């Protein structure tokens, strides 16, 4: 069978992306074939588009997926055809979720919460797993701790605010003034306008910092921590040097990469079903407008997520 999928013949800007016809994949052992209803768009997508990432050209973009199981491979007992699922297959290896069909290891998916549309569910996996693994698995957030979330209105940030609140934390977010009402609506206790105030001077006694920006934000964030606090850097492996500086101050810091995680996806689904987590969708575009989606995303000015629709 033939399907539509996004491909590229060369590395470069959004203009290299095109929709082509390719053979539909078949699920291998322990895999499922998902008919994709919607696919989320993330910074890792345009990074792979421009650099090739860890794969070869043509790059198969897309890791956020929500859809319906079409077929199951040998040994799969978790799902059956017709099940609605969402998840993050294979990252950092190529997945190819910008397509009508994608295969995924069964344990890289979870059942889609019934209260979410496919567009909403597709906005969650990469960003929500990044926030969840950073806060819960790496930083071990506890009730009463103070958490600072940079870019709190962004794709990862707006979910990190909600996950931290769901775990009983006091949350401080950084955002432009125009987005303060939105961030407070997520549950943030304080919001700092980073264009007007130096957060490193304004914020103190923080236990956990979620740094989605990088650059000098890591070293400056160390100034906000109380003894034993941690900066979790999501921006660049270059931030690893922070660990040594942090140790000298009695602090912790480190770079982390999101991993496929069935248990994490189930925990995210549970937060959604409990009314404690909801994705904000900024832009929804059809698969054919994938280049426009990347252009919008690379401005860095979106509130929440960008999602591509594949099935009406």
pLDDT in tens, 155-175: 999 999 999 999 999 999 999
CATH architecture designation of domain 139-255: 3-Layer(aba) Sandwich (3.40)
**In whole angstroms, what separates CA 53 from the centre of its chain?**
17
**In whole angstroms, what separates CA 141 from the centre of its chain?**
19
DSSP letter (8 states) at residue 91: T
What the block records as the tokens of 116 is 């979410």
* Whole-angstrom distance, CA of residue 198 vs CA of residue 215: 15
* Whole-angstrom distance, CA of residue 61 vs CA of residue 191: 34
How would residue 252 be classed by pLDDT, with cut points 50, 70 and 90? very high
pLDDT (average), residues 91-110: 96
pLDDT (average), residues 271-296: 98
CB contact at 8 A, 292 and 6: no
* Whole-angstrom distance, CA of residue 216 vs CA of residue 226: 19
pLDDT of 141 over the 60 cut: yes
Per domain, the residue ranges of the chain are 2-126+277-309, 139-255
* Whole-angstrom distance, CA of residue 20 vs CA of residue 261: 30
Element (H, E) at 207: strand 206-211
**Model pLDDT, residue 293:** 98
Instruction: Output Rg (C-alpha) for the chain, integer angstroms.
Output: 19
pTM score: 0.95
pLDDT of 41 over the 90 cut: yes
Residues in contact with 265: Cβ distance below 8 Å, sequence separation at least 6, in sequence order: 86, 87, 88, 108, 109, 110, 125, 129
How would residue 82 be classed by pLDDT, with cut points 50, 70 and 90? very high
How would residue 244 be classed by pLDDT, with cut points 50, 70 and 90? confident
pLDDT of 202 over the 60 cut: yes
Ordered DSSP codes for 128-150: HHHHHIIIIIIS---TT-EEEES
Specify the CATH class of 2-126+277-309 in words. Answer: alpha beta
How would residue 13 be classed by pLDDT, with cut points 50, 70 and 90? very high
pLDDT of 239 over the 60 cut: no
């Amino acid at each position: 069978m033939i399907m539509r999928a996004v491909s590229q013949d060369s590395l470069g800007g959004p203009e290299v992306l095109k929709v082509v016809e390719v053979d539909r994949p078949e699920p291998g052992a322990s895999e499922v074939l998902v008919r994709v209803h919607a696919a989320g768009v993330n910074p890792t997508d345009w990074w792979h588009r421009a650099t090739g990432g860890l794969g070869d050209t043509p790059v198969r973009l897309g890791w956020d997926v929500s859809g319906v199981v079409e077929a199951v491979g040998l040994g799969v007992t978790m799902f059956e055809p017709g099940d609605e699922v969402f998840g993050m297959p294979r990252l950092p290896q190529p997945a190819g979720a910008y397509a009508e069909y994608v295969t995924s290891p069964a344990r890289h998916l979870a059942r889609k919460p019934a209260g979410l549309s496919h567009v909403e569910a597709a906005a969650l996996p990469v960003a929500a797993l990044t926030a969840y693994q950073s806060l819960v698995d790496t930083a071990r957030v506890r009730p009463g701790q103070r958490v600072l979330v940079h870019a709190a209105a962004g794709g990862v940030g707006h979910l990190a605010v909600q996950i931290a609140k769901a775990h009983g934390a006091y949350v401080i977010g950084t955002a432009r003034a125009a987005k303060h009402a939105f961030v407070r609506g997520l549950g943030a206790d304080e919001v700092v306008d980073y264009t007007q105030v130096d957060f490193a001077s304004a914020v103190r006694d923080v236990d956990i910092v979620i740094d989605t920006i990088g650059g000098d934000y890591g070293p400056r964030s160390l100034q906000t921590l109380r003894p034993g606090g941690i900066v979790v850097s999501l921006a660049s492996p270059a931030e690893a040097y922070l660990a040594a500086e942090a140790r000298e101050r009695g602090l912790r810091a480190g770079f982390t990469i999101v991993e496929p995680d069935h248990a994490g996806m189930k925990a995210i689904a549970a937060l959604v079903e409990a009314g404690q987590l909801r994705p904000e969708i900024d832009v929804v575009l059809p698969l054919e407008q994938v280049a426009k989606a990347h252009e919008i995303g690379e401005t860095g000015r979106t509130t929440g997520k960008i999602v591509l629709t594949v099935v009406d």
